[in-house]
Amino acid sequence: MKSKKTSRFPEALRARRHLAQVDSRLGRVIEEVGPLKIELDPDESIYESLGISIVYQQLHGKAAAAITKRLKALFNDEDRFPEPAEIAGASLTHLRSAGLSESKAKALQDLAEKTIQRVLPDRAQAADMNDEELIEALTAVKGIGPWTAQMLLIFTLGRKDVLPVADYGVRKGFSLLYGKKDLPTPRELLAFGERWRPYRSAAAWYLWRVTEMPGFKK
């Protein structure tokens, strides 16, 4: 199996400096945590990223990884995610034999069909779309909601200014960092996060780290 090529998240150092300048509390977290550790796979397609996301939904990592491995094996290649034509042409029974639920099997087929029909953008097309346009296009796929689309924007496409305001970890990290008794509402977090532009993806990543820091866990 070939090792994946990875690239660093764009403007990571500039993002850290900006966030520390506009938000002293987040700046102290950045100083303690260190560099932004998001690695991007430039060869992973939007189709593959969404397909893996569908498999992993509501499952523990090990179980989802095992299902993904079996799904690849159904099409005789454990080193690559099945092509859209393979998924679209398979029966639900065949897909479910990998351990997928019926709803996930149907979602994968919808993803494959929208990829074949060019409803789903590829990386080149995505480069010409803003974040809102991309999220709208991605959530047209069955089983893909705004949160999954936002994760793809950050961790697959390296979009710099995505703030997943409905994400529990981001909200929890915010409440811990700023000493709030309750989780912020998405609207409150969105308003506060205006100061983090244009690097809200990095801010979200550091808020996730807050939930793991011993000084905040209690």
Express each pLDDT in 28-61 by its tens digit: 999 999 999 999 988 899 999 999 999 999 888 8
Nearest to 176 by CA among 29, 21, 15: 29
Do 138 and 197 reside in the same domain of the chain?
no
Q: Look up the pTM and report it.
A: 0.89
Residues 212, 166 share a domain = yes
Q: What angle do CA 102, 104, 110 make, to 5 degrees?
A: 105
Q: Is the pLDDT of residue 192 over 90?
A: yes
Indicate the residue among 125, 155, 185 that finishes a domain.
Answer: 155
Mean pLDDT of 120-124: 94
Question: pLDDT tens digit string along 74-98?
Answer: 998 778 899 999 999 999 999 999 9
Query: Which residue among 23, 122, 161, 167 is the active-site one?
Result: 167
Q: Is residue 2 part of a domain?
A: no
Residue 178's CB is within 10 A of a number of other CB atoms, namely 13
Catalytic status, residue 167: yes
Q: How many of the other CB atoms lie within 10 Å of CB of 91?
A: 10
Tell me which residue range forms the domain holding 67: 46-155
Same domain? 208 vs 187: yes
135-164 mean pLDDT: 95
Is 67 part of a structural domain of the chain?
yes
Residue 33 lies in a domain: yes
The CATH number of the domain holding residue 197 is 1.10.1670.40
Domain membership of residue 61 (yes or no) is yes
